[in-house]
Amino acid sequence: MFSAWQRLQNTSSWALSVCLTLLAVISVSSWYVLPTVPLGSIGLKSFQVVPGSGSQSNLEYALMRLDVQSDLTPLFANWNTKQLYVSVVADWNSTVEGTQSSVVLWDRIITRKRPEAAKLRIEGLKAKNVWKVRRGGFKTIPSCHLSLKYDIMPYVGIVTPGIGARARNPTWNVTTETATNSFGEWDIAVPGVKSGGVGS
């Protein structure tokens, strides 16, 4: 005969095992039924690199204006999608340091309560966060990749990343699949430093 305490322990252990198993099944199944998202576009309206001035004279800044188009609403077709973390990211490699770096230029959280906000049509987007490097640093960055990335935050399971849009090299020739320079299809040329200053 088991005591009441032993029976309670056995029942609790069984219930906990069932719950954990269900959560694991939900998490794995959600991974395989994620809807696909068509690749959107990022248009580069303006891109210039300017030096800092005053107390910021040891820095250089990249100033951009972007047009972003991406439809992420299919991601909310999955019941396990709680919200999306969306960000425009610049990735680049330094020819001197040989390191890969990135900076979040703009971000937003889109919740299930407002799924229509996942249909992005933003013109003249200005970066919320500044892309800056030490003076002379942009000379070692010939090109960068601009992309709209998203992270699916589920009710149950792990965060799932994805890409919703990319900026395409404007010199890329679709017919011959070659570029007029040495860059690839998604490489955006980083301009030289212009006169003038930012900061004080």
Q: What is residue 67's predicted lDDT score, i.e. its pLDDT?
A: 95
Q: Sign of the CA dihedral 198, 109, 125, 147?
A: positive
Give residues with Cβ within 8 angstroms of 95, minimum separation 6. 140, 141, 142
Position 25 scores a pLDDT of 65
Each residue's pLDDT expressed in tens, for the chain with a length of 200 residues: 567 676 677 677 777 776 667 666 665 665 566 778 999 999 989 888 888 877 777 888 889 999 999 999 999 988 888 999 999 999 998 877 777 889 999 999 999 988 899 999 999 999 898 898 888 888 888 889 999 999 999 888 788 899 999 998 876 665 545 445 567 788 888 887 776 555 44
